[in-house]
Chains A and B, each alone.
Chain A
Amino acid sequence: MKDISGCGLSGVIHRKGELIPGEVIIKSICCQEERGNGLGAGFAAYGIYPDLADYYALHVMADHRKALEDVEELLAHRTYMAHEEPIPTRRTPGIENPPLFKRYFVKPKYEGETRQLCEGTEDEDDYMVSLVMEINTKIDGAYVISSGKNMGAFKGVGFPHQIAEFFRIEEYKAYIWTAHNRFPTNTPGWWGRAHPFTILDWSIVHNGEISSYGTNRRYLEMFGYHCTLLTDTEVVAYLLDLLIRRHRLPIEVACMALAPPFWQEIDRMPEEERELATAIRMVYGAAMLNGPFAILFAYNGGLVGLNDRVKLRPLVAAEKGDMVYMASEEAAIRAICPDPDRVWAPKAGEPVIVELEPGTIPNQRSYLRGPGEKTGGEVCRYPG
C-alpha cells in the first residue's frame, strides 16, 4: 500500500484575501512528517510581494555564481528590472550545500515597435513563459522555480520544518498557501525536483506518480513547454497554463481533461454533457494524467484540489468561515483548525475549486465556468 507512505500535501486559502501567517502552513505540513522522508519539501505563497505586485517575481535557483551571472545578463536584455535581491535564507542544521537563490522583479522588455503592440496584453504572460523556458534550457545550472506576480515558491531537499527554517517561511504572510512533503519513489532527491512546480502564477504540489509523463511531455513540447526538472509533476504546471490560460478552458473542464470520467460513465450522461465529455477526452487525450494522484494547485485567484478518477491518493477538505483547507490527512487540517464547520472527502475526479470573492485583489484571475453550466462531472465550487 503505497498510499500509506506517499507524499503529504496541505493548502489553505482565505476567501476574502486576508493574510495567513507562515507558521500556520508549517504547522499543518509538519503534522504529516511521516508522509515524507527528508528528500524534498516546499511552499507556495500568494500575496507576499504587495509592493512589487505589478512585476513578475522570478525566483531563480543556481548551482553556481556563473549561472546567476548568465541569468542576469539575459534579464538585462529582456526585461526591465525593478528590484533584485538574494532570497533570504538561514543556516539550517541538516541542510548542506544548498544552491544559490535570488529573486528578480521584472517586466518584459519588447524591442522596437512590438513593444507598443504587446505591452499590457496577455502576451506578457507568453513572453515570460518563453523567457523561463529559455533560462531553464539554455543556462547551465540555473532554474526558475517560480515566475508569477505577487507570489513565490520556496523548495528544496529536506524535511518541511528544515525547508521552512531555511527559507524563513514564518516571515511571510499569504492569502493562499500550499505545502508539500516529499517521499520520492521514482526519481532521486534534488532541489529542482522538490515541489511546488510552477509557471507564471500557477503552482502545483502533488502526491502520486504520473505514468503518462512521456505522453504529456511530448504533447506540451508542441506548444513550447520544455520539461527540464526531471520529474513527473512538472508537466501538470504547464498543462494548467496551456489548458486554462492559453486555451481558455473553464477550470471545471480543464480538471475533466486531466482526470476524465470513464467511458462507461460518459455513456450514462445526458446528451449535452456526454458530448462535452466525449470532446474533451478526444481533443485532450494527451493531457490526461494517468496514474495515482492527489494534487493541489493554485493561481492568484484560487486554490484547487483534484484526485485521480479512482482516488488512489488521499485528499480531505474542510471549511471554517472564510477559510478553506485541503490536505492529505484530516489531522493536518485539524492541527491548524481544530473545529472546522465542515469536513469532507472529495470524490475521485471531482475538483474542489475555491476562488477568492470577486474583486478581492487587483488583477484577480477567475477561471470558473460557474454552477449554471454542467460539465457532466461533479464539481465542488466556491463561490458555489
Chain B
Amino acid sequence: MATEMDVKDLHYRDLNRLLRAKIEEGERDFILKNVNGQRYIAAGVSEKIRLEIYGTPGLDLGAFMRGPEIIVHGNTQDGAGNTMDEGKIVVHGMAGDVVGYAMRGGKIHVYSDVGYRVGIHMKAYMDKVPVIVIGGKAGDFLGEYMAGGIIILLGMFSRYPERPIAGIYLGTGMHGGTIYVRGKVSESQLGLGLKPHEITDEDEALLRKHLSEYCEDFNLDLEEIMKEPFIKIEPYTHRPYGKLYAY
C-alpha cells in the first residue's frame, strides 16, 4: 500500500522533511496529492522509492537524486532532474526550462513539450548514460554544451502546432552524446558546425529500446512513432571551441 499524503499548502521544507522521515522508516511507495509549487521534491534522495505526484511540483524536482522513480500527473516547472544521477522522472504533461541540466544518469520521459535549455551539459561515464525523451517540442538551446548521454525529440504530442520541433542553437557547443530528432530540422537551427546525419541500424536498435520503455510509460504505439524517419546530431569534434579560445 502506498503512503498517501495531501500536501496542500505545506511548505517544501516540511514536505521534504516528512518524506525523508517516512523513507527512513522504511516506506518506499508514496502518493502526493495537491502538490503546487513545492520545490526540491525528493532532491538528493538515494533510496529506490516510487513517488506519484498529482499537481504541479516546483523547481528542481528530483535534483541530485540517485534512485527514485517519480511519476508526475501534471506539468513540472523549471529544473526537473537537475544533475540527477540515477532513477527516473515521468511527466504526463509538459515540462519547463532546463530539464535534466547536467544530468549524469537515469531517465526523464516527458509526454508533451519542454522549455528552453533542456539537457544542457548532460554527461556520461562508463555505464552511466542519461536519457531524455521528449514527446512534444523543445525550445532553443536543446542539448547545449552536451558532453554525453542521449536526447530523443519526437515532436508528436505538442500543444504548439505553430512552432518548429526544436528552437535555434540546437546542440550548440556539444562535444559528446547524441540528439535524435524524429523528422527534420533545418541546418540554421543547429549550433555552429553541426549537421544532421542519417541514423544507422545500431541507432535504430537503440531508439527502439528506449522508445519501447517510453511507450509503456504513456501507453503509446511504438510502431506509430517509428513510422517517421529520425535524424541524429552528433558533435563534429571533441573540442568545438579548441581553436576559438587563446591559451
A interface with B by C-beta (< 8 Å): 1, 3-4, 31-32, 34, 264-265, 268, 310-311, 314, 316, 329-332, 334-335, 342-345, 347-348, 378
Contacts and interface: CB of A to CB of B under 8 A. Distances in A.
Interface in B107-144: 113, 115-116, 139-141
A203 to B, nearest CB: 25
A37 B202 CA distance: 51
Given A329-B59, A330-B56, A330-B96, 20 more contacts: A1-B101, A3-B78, A34-B39, A264-B188, A265-B168, A268-B188, A311-B115, A311-B139, A314-B78, A329-B58, A331-B37, A331-B77, A334-B56, A335-B36, A345-B94, A345-B96, A345-B115, A347-B139, A347-B163, A348-B140
B159 interface: yes
10 contacts: A31-B36, A264-B188, A311-B115, A329-B37, A330-B75, A330-B96, A334-B56, A343-B94, A345-B94, A348-B116
A4 B40 CA distance: 11
A183 to B, nearest CB: 14
Nearest to A309: B140
Given A4-B59, A335-B37, A311 B188 contact: no
Contacts of A335: 36-37
Contacts of B19: none
A344 B58 contact: no
Nearest to A264: B188
A31 B78 contact: no
A316 B96 CA distance: 9
Contacts of A345: 94, 96-97, 113, 115, 139
B97 A311 contact: yes
B116 A344 contact: no
Contacts of B96: 314, 316, 330, 345
Contacts of A265: 168
Contacts of A264: 188
Category for how many chain B residues contact A = 20 to 34
Given A268-B188, A331-B58, A31 B37 contact: yes
Top 9 nearest A-B pairs (CB, nearest first) are A331-B37, A311-B116, A331-B36, A331-B56, A330-B56, A345-B115, A31-B37, A334-B36, A329-B77
A4 B160 contact: no
Say whether chain B's binding surface is mostly helix, strand, loop, or mixed.
loop
B79 interface: yes
Contact of A311 (B58, B94, B140, B160): B140
B69 interface: no
B37 A32 contact: yes
Contacts of B167: 347-348
B185 interface: no
Interface in B52-76: 55-56, 58-60, 75
Contacts of B59: 4, 329
| Candidate in B37, B75, B113, B116 with the most chain A CB atoms within 10 angstroms | B37
B80 interface: no
Nearest to A333: B56
A268 B113 CA distance: 25
Contacts of B115: 311, 345
A345 B136 CA distance: 13
A167 B56 CA distance: 31
Contacts of B168: 265
A74 B71 CA distance: 63
Contacts of A34: 12, 39
| Candidate in A264, A329, A331 with the most chain B CB atoms within 10 angstroms | A331
B98 interface: yes
Contacts of A314: 77-78, 96-97
Nearest to B97: A314
Given A1-B79, A330-B75, A310 B140 contact: yes
A330 B113 CA distance: 15
Nearest to B63: A4
Given A4-B59, A345-B115, A348-B140, A330 B98 contact: no
Contacts of B78: 3-4, 314
Contacts of B37: 31-32, 329-332, 334-335
Nearest to A35: B59
A30 to B, nearest CB: 11
Interface in B140-164: 140-141, 159-160, 162-163
Nearest to B82: A1
B71 to A, nearest CB: 18
| Candidate in B78, B140, B160, B188 with the most chain A CB atoms within 10 angstroms | B78
